[in-house]
Copies of this chain bind each other. A is one copy, B any other.
Amino acid sequence: MKSNSNLMRTSYSIGIDIGGTNTDIGLVRSDGSVVAKKNLPTREYFDANKYASDICLKIKELMTEKKIDEIDGIGIAAPMGNYYTGCIDNATNLNFKGVTNLNALFHQYMDVPVTVSNDANAAAYGELVYGGARGMKNFITFTLGTGVGSGIVVDGKLVHGKTGNAGELGHVILIPEGRPCGCGRRGCLETYASATGIRNTALELLEKHPQYQGVLSQIPKEQLTSKHVGDAAKDGDPLALEVFELTGKWLGLAMANAVAFSGPEAIFLMGGPVKAGEVLLEPLLESFKRNLCFVYDGSVDIRVSELPDNDAAILGAAALTKA
């Protein structure tokens, strides 16, 4: 009886994070610990069937090594992963072109539920199931990376919308006629608040302040990254601080606008640039408060993700199995 009830409590699932370069596969215990993980070089696969087959072999290896007989399901976070169809739809950074039906491919090799979504939505589920949003009904996550991803949870469920593509707050037009975006339009949030946006803001300010002689002026322009800017800002570099002042101002405005949509109890931030810490968060909070409509005053917490950096993507993917 006791061992049965223990079996009920502790369960396992698989989280798979598909990136353009690497695919990370993790065995996740129900308490949110990543028990073991393996990876595959996504870039080397051109045949989606072979790719799915090799991932399933890795899953079976993980289970054998950790003596786990049973998993609840497989969650897959993939670029352009579609929750409704279980497919990857025309992802530009993968070798598999067109529509790749992951759900069908995986079911050839494993007989467990497979849930697919994009990485930003998976991040929101990760926060809900294993992170700081446990028990919350309404929250939003912003993931700052090459782009800006977002996931929106309403009444305890992720908002997928009609086509599975809801929650693309990185492509809300923040500044009409602003910076050109990869999506073909101008002024999208991600052209300002992504790692790429931060780099571009730094390049703009370097141009604007030719008299500046600080550490960022020593780095060849083509090598400059948002991490350089973050490190310089932490050391008090005035140009880097100005970059984060602006980034925080833009992101705070975007977050205030998002609140007017779903009235969440919290917004979580994750991704590389968030590691800059106070130099980003202070201007962000100032801008958020200034731009928030008064009816929401005091009702929204701004928080940093509580998922561990190294395992956030795997945990997000595994959390999809609870969706």
Number of interface residues of A (CB under 8 A): 44
Identical chains in the assembly: 2
Interface SS, A side? loop
* Residues B183 and A293 in contact, CB atoms below 8 Å apart: yes
* Residues B172 and A257 in contact, CB atoms below 8 Å apart: yes
| Residues of B with C-beta under 8 A to A161 | 138, 154, 262-264
> Binary interface profile of A, 261-276, with partner B (CB < 8 Å = 1, else 0)?
1111100000000000
* Residues B294 and A260 in contact, CB atoms below 8 Å apart: no
* Residues A291 and B165 in contact, CB atoms below 8 Å apart: no
* Residues A173 and B299 in contact, CB atoms below 8 Å apart: no
| Residues of B with C-beta under 8 A to A166 | 138, 261-263
> Binary interface profile of A, 144-166, with partner B (CB < 8 Å = 1, else 0)?
00000000101101011111111
CB distance from A156 to the nearest CB of B (A): 11
Could you list some 14 contacts between A and B, CB below 8 A? A138-B162, A138-B166, A154-B161, A159-B262, A159-B263, A161-B264, A165-B295, A166-B262, A168-B293, A169-B261, A173-B253, A173-B256, A185-B291, A261-B262
Given A152-B261, A166-B263, A173-B291, 8 new contacts (CB under 8 A): A155-B155, A155-B157, A155-B159, A159-B262, A167-B263, A168-B295, A173-B253, A183-B294
